[in-house]
Amino acid sequence: MGANENNSAKPRARPIVRLGIFLISHSNIVSVVCFTAGVVALLLLPILAKNTYISENALMPGSANNMLSTHHVSDANKFIKDLTDLEFRSGSSPIESQKLIAHYMSALDAEVTFHKFYPQFNHFHPLHFFTSPDSDIISENATCSSFGINTFGIIRAPRGDGKEAIVLVTPYNPNKVGLGEALSLGIAYSVFSLLSHVTWLAKDIVWLVADSQYGEYSAVAAWLREYQAPAFRRVDIVNSETCNESSTFNELGQDLYLDGKLYGGFRRAGTMAAALVIKVAEQGNQYEDSLNIYAEASNGQMPNLDLINIVNYLAVHKQGLRIKVKKMWSLLGSKWLNTLGVIFESLGRIARSLNPQWKFGIPATEYVEGAATLASSLYYQGLGVPTGPHGAFRDYQVDAITLEISPKVSLTKMIRRNEFILRGGRLIEGVIRSINNLLEKFHQSFFLYLLTSPSKFVSVGVYMISFALLVAPLPIVAAYLHSNASNSTPQNTSALEVDASHKSWKWLNSARKVLVIHLWGVVVSLLPFFLCQVPNTTPTTNFILWGSLSASSLLILYLILGSPIFEAAVSLHEKNKWASLKSVTISTAFIGLSLMSVINFATAEIGALLIVPICLLARPLKLDTQARSWRTLLRASCNLALGFIGFPPVAFVLLKGAFEDFYGINVSDYWNWLESLWAWNSATYLYIGVVHLPCWALCINILFHPC
């Protein structure tokens, strides 16, 4: 627009500038094209996914024969039997089972240690986002009675130098031993008993039986804290005089160290190379034994893809396990996705008929599965909450995954159980052997990826495209609005000189408004911290309290800073004020999304899908209704709908409905969800509070702008 007028008078600008001006002047088309392209690119991701491959040559999975024999399995069975018998025996304390485990471990010449910990309940520490867990924080309400005991054994590699270790974790609740937990312990035991006398071991093996009565994650996290960042100072809160229970712990220790073992302290074994969490699902109703892999750690961090690859390779090619990663089940049946799949399939077929070299079509069913897996991958990465105890390892830069093996039928039958343990054990053995081969730490393969199936992935270079396309219109539209707002005024001004200086800084006014709203966002996201201090509240009341407090704080802001911000000023430029406000809003949204994409890509991607359309479309309803053409009315209704969707609780309900189901959703769910987010130090919480909510509020403000 601006370019056209000056074209004749001035010499032509350089091509890059011309291109920029061209884009800005056609921002409407550009934004529509970019946004649709972004959505299409996102939908295309299942097709663009590549097959996984083992990148690190040293891993060599499956190149050695399995050494785990039925002999080890029968040992494991004996162990399981002893463990479950202990459970049935009345009057046995939970300590007994730990003793038993320790006994079995030390019989394998492992160095056994008990680790007593006080569960650290997650609290909202506003300033502790992104910081590594601090060893000094000890939960205030740690009482004498509530402590857990982790039991762990270390097998030293016979000829190794002890610099590195591989960790096996089996969560286990001593108060209530289910068959699944007992079996997972059995699998770990069979592997452990094999590893205690193999000659090829180069890294030490640590088997951690994590006491999961206060949650699997907190037990593993407590152990890791002790391992990596111990507090040597004595815990003064809990002194031994007041606690009788700790004497049982001491007795536990005494029992073990009598027989020639010397060192009663916490034992360590080098730098951790990788960790595997083994779980057995109680009852699987599938057609075959299957293996679920959980990999997402906090803030969407993933373990190295090679770790998933070796598990996948060994499970599929060696043990014949059906491998699964999480899927959005609700998406599997959706019709629109299926049609999309069919369309892509036919497109692929056409392309292949044109040139047989082009192979990008995949079958529709595969597409739907891929999309469902991708959606879940995005969702769980975006949530930023670890999907299992493996998340604790990622905080210390250790690659870890959780393997949940689910049996085909009930495991009460002995023969079936033996086979199951053999298969599971051999899988774990193979994975450990592979990691044992590894000379360097995992670095070769991808860390940034989305899975579309256990054997297919989308790397960062591909999935960035859709996000880049989604956010690309934002700066262009902002520039367009800015130039438009500053250029459209001069026609009706008399005092040009005064206005020119005023006009160029006019956006600062809008920027101030945007800044204040963002500050409000910060306040809103800090409010739960204070709400948590109020005792005896239900989530519903908390949520209502929070909502009303946020609204009232907005009102207070309005009252205090009312005149410069919300004042319906009667200036001449009022007409364009919304445009400059929108321009600044869009810029901040762009900056926020870009920053978030670095911290947690999946959040940024989902957030962009929600916030970008409203940002691009927002336009005062008054203007649209005044125009009264079908186009403006459509836009107005679109705006209203998008504005409704963009409201965080509504977006949450919709997402939850889409991915899980609508059944039984109530207001308190949102509060619980947010509580879990901040408890896990998820950056998504910050994103919602500091970027999404203010941008949404500003867009709504623009919608209802009086002009």
Partner 1 sequence: MALPLKATFALSLLFLFSLMLAASAEEEFSEELLLKPLPDRKILAHFHFRNEAPLAADSFARHHHLFPKSISQLVQKFHIKAMELSFTQGRWNYERWGGFDPISSHNAKPPGVELWAVFDVPQHQVDASWKNLTHSLSGLFCASINFLESSTSYSAPEWAFQSALGSLRYGTLPREAVCTENLTPWLKLLPCRDKAGLSSLMDRPSIYRSFYHSQRLHLIMPTAVSDGSKSGIILEQTLTVVLQPNNQKASMNHVGETKIQPSWSLSSIFGRKISGRCVLAKLSNIYLHFERGLVTQLDNLQKKSSKFAANDTGPEAFRGNAGFELSVTPERVHTELEKSSSVLYEYPIKEYKEIEQFDLGLTWKHPVVWSSSHAPLYASRFLMGSGNERGAIAISLKSTEMTKGLVSANNVEERCKLQVNVLQIVPWYVKVYYHTLQLLVDERPQVLADFVERMRVSPSEDKVSPGVMELVLQFPCEMKSAVLSIEFDKGFLHIDEYPPDANQGFDIPSAIISFPDFHAGLQFCEKSQSKSPLLSKLQERSPVLSYTEVLLVPLTTPDFSMPYNVITITCTVFALYFGSLLNVLRRRVGEEERLLKNKDAKKAVFLRRMLNKLSAKLRGRPSESTPSPPSSSSSPFVSPKLILRVLMVAGIAVAWQYYSQ
Stretch that binds partner 1, among 85-93, 156-164, 209-217, 407-415 (CB under 8 A): 156-164
Nearer to partner 1, 202 or 372 (CB): 202
Among 26, 128, 441, 502, binds partner 1 (CB under 8 A): 441
CB 397 within 8 A of CB 306: no
Stretch that binds partner 1, among 178-186, 253-261, 334-342, 583-591 (CB under 8 A): 253-261
503 closest CA partner among 568, 577, 563, 584: 577
Nearer to partner 1, 230 or 564 (CB): 230
Among 2, 126, 230, 562, binds partner 1 (CB under 8 A): 230
**Considering the rule CB under 8 A, would residue 74 count as an interface residue with partner 1?**
no
Among 159, 335, 628, 631, binds partner 1 (CB under 8 A): 159
**Considering the rule CB under 8 A, would residue 649 count as an interface residue with partner 1?**
no
Handedness of CA 190, 193, 194, 200 (dihedral sign): positive
DSSP string, 496-546: HHHHHHHHHTHHHHHHHHHHHHHHHHHHHHHHHHHHHHSSS--HHHHHHHH
Nearer to partner 1, 460 or 556 (CB): 460
Nearer to partner 1, 392 or 589 (CB): 392
Among 98, 193, 466, 597, binds partner 1 (CB under 8 A): 193
Query: For the packed helices 506-533 and 667-679, what is the interaxial angle rounded to 10 degrees?
Result: 90
> For residue 351, what are its two tokens?
């392309």
Nearer to partner 1, 376 or 681 (CB): 681
**Considering the rule CB under 8 A, would residue 163 count as an interface residue with partner 1?**
yes
**Considering the rule CB under 8 A, would residue 234 count as an interface residue with partner 1?**
yes
List residues bridging with 272 in a β-sheet: 165
CB 282 within 8 A of CB 369: no
Nearer to partner 1, 191 or 593 (CB): 191
Among 354, 439, 495, 598, binds partner 1 (CB under 8 A): 439
**Considering the rule CB under 8 A, would residue 259 count as an interface residue with partner 1?**
yes
Compute the least distance from the CB of residue 479 to partner 1, in Å.
21
**Considering the rule CB under 8 A, would residue 395 count as an interface residue with partner 1?**
yes
Compute the least distance from the CB of residue 537 to partner 1, in Å.
36
Compute the least distance from the CB of residue 75 to partner 1, in Å.
7
CB 474 within 8 A of CB 615: yes
Nearer to partner 1, 204 or 624 (CB): 204
Nearer to partner 1, 268 or 622 (CB): 268
3-state secondary structure of 160: coil
**Considering the rule CB under 8 A, would residue 128 count as an interface residue with partner 1?**
no
Compute the least distance from the CB of residue 188 to partner 1, in Å.
15
**Residue 25 to residue 13: CA distance in whole angstroms:** 15
Compute the least distance from the CB of residue 9 to partner 1, in Å.
11
DSSP conformation class of 403: E
Binding-site size for partner 1 (CB under 8 A) equals 43
Stretch that binds partner 1, among 257-265, 362-370, 376-384, 405-413 (CB under 8 A): 257-265
Among 4, 8, 57, 260, binds partner 1 (CB under 8 A): 260
**Residue 643 to residue 630: CA distance in whole angstroms:** 20
**Residue 123 to residue 111: CA distance in whole angstroms:** 35
| Residues in region 93-122 near partner 1 by CB under 8 A | 103-104, 107-109
User: Alpha helix locations (H) across 133-207?
Assistant: 179-195
- The C-alpha angle 606, 582, 637, rounded to 5 degrees, equals 70
Among 44, 75, 391, 576, binds partner 1 (CB under 8 A): 75
**Residue 503 to residue 507: CA distance in whole angstroms:** 8
List residues bridging with 170 in a β-sheet: 209
Compute the least distance from the CB of residue 248 to partner 1, in Å.
21
**Considering the rule CB under 8 A, would residue 443 count as an interface residue with partner 1?**
yes
**Considering the rule CB under 8 A, would residue 440 count as an interface residue with partner 1?**
yes
Neighbours of 559 (CB within 10 A): 10
By CB neighbour count within 10 A (0-12 exposed, 13-18 middle, 19+ buried), where does 116 fall? buried
Compute the least distance from the CB of residue 221 to partner 1, in Å.
13
Among 148, 215, 270, 303, binds partner 1 (CB under 8 A): 270
**Considering the rule CB under 8 A, would residue 359 count as an interface residue with partner 1?**
no
Among 9, 127, 262, 354, binds partner 1 (CB under 8 A): 262
**Considering the rule CB under 8 A, would residue 502 count as an interface residue with partner 1?**
no
Nearer to partner 1, 107 or 640 (CB): 107
**Residue 468 to residue 157: CA distance in whole angstroms:** 48
Compute the least distance from the CB of residue 553 to partner 1, in Å.
37
**Considering the rule CB under 8 A, would residue 156 count as an interface residue with partner 1?**
yes
Residue 676 identity: S
Neighbours of 86 (CB within 10 A): 17
- The C-alpha angle 84, 90, 93, rounded to 5 degrees, equals 80
Compute the least distance from the CB of residue 161 to partner 1, in Å.
4
> For residue 37, what are its two tokens?
């392209």
**Residue 171 to residue 150: CA distance in whole angstroms:** 9
**Considering the rule CB under 8 A, would residue 160 count as an interface residue with partner 1?**
yes
Compute the least distance from the CB of residue 501 to partner 1, in Å.
25
**Considering the rule CB under 8 A, would residue 232 count as an interface residue with partner 1?**
yes
**Residue 454 to residue 456: CA distance in whole angstroms:** 6
> For residue 249, what are its two tokens?
């712990």
Among 161, 255, 567, 661, binds partner 1 (CB under 8 A): 161
**Residue 250 to residue 232: CA distance in whole angstroms:** 18
Compute the least distance from the CB of residue 259 to partner 1, in Å.
7
Phi, psi at residue 288, to the nearest 5°? Answer: -150, 170
CB 647 within 8 A of CB 524: no
**Residue 632 to residue 613: CA distance in whole angstroms:** 16
Nearer to partner 1, 259 or 497 (CB): 259
**Residue 495 to residue 423: CA distance in whole angstroms:** 85
Q: Please state the length of the chain.
A: 707
Nearer to partner 1, 223 or 367 (CB): 223
DSSP conformation class of 241: T
Biggest alpha carbon–alpha carbon distance for the chain: 99
Pattern 209-228, partner 1, x by CB under 8 A:
-------------------x
Residues sharing a CB contact under 8 Å with residue 627, sequence separation 6 or more, in sequence order: none
Nearer to partner 1, 234 or 628 (CB): 234
**Considering the rule CB under 8 A, would residue 598 count as an interface residue with partner 1?**
no
Compute the least distance from the CB of residue 11 to partner 1, in Å.
5
**Considering the rule CB under 8 A, would residue 333 count as an interface residue with partner 1?**
no
Pairing of strands 399-406, 271-280: parallel
Pattern 303-332, partner 1, x by CB under 8 A:
------------------------------
CB neighbour burial string for 596-629, b if at least 16 within 10 angstroms, e if fewer: bbebbbbbbbbbbbbbbbbbbbbbbbeebeeeee
Nearer to partner 1, 267 or 518 (CB): 267
Where along the sequence are the contacts to partner 1 (CB under 8 A)?
11, 75, 103-104, 107-109, 132, 156, 158-164, 193, 197, 199, 228-230, 232-234, 259-265, 267-268, 270-271, 395-397, 439-441, 443
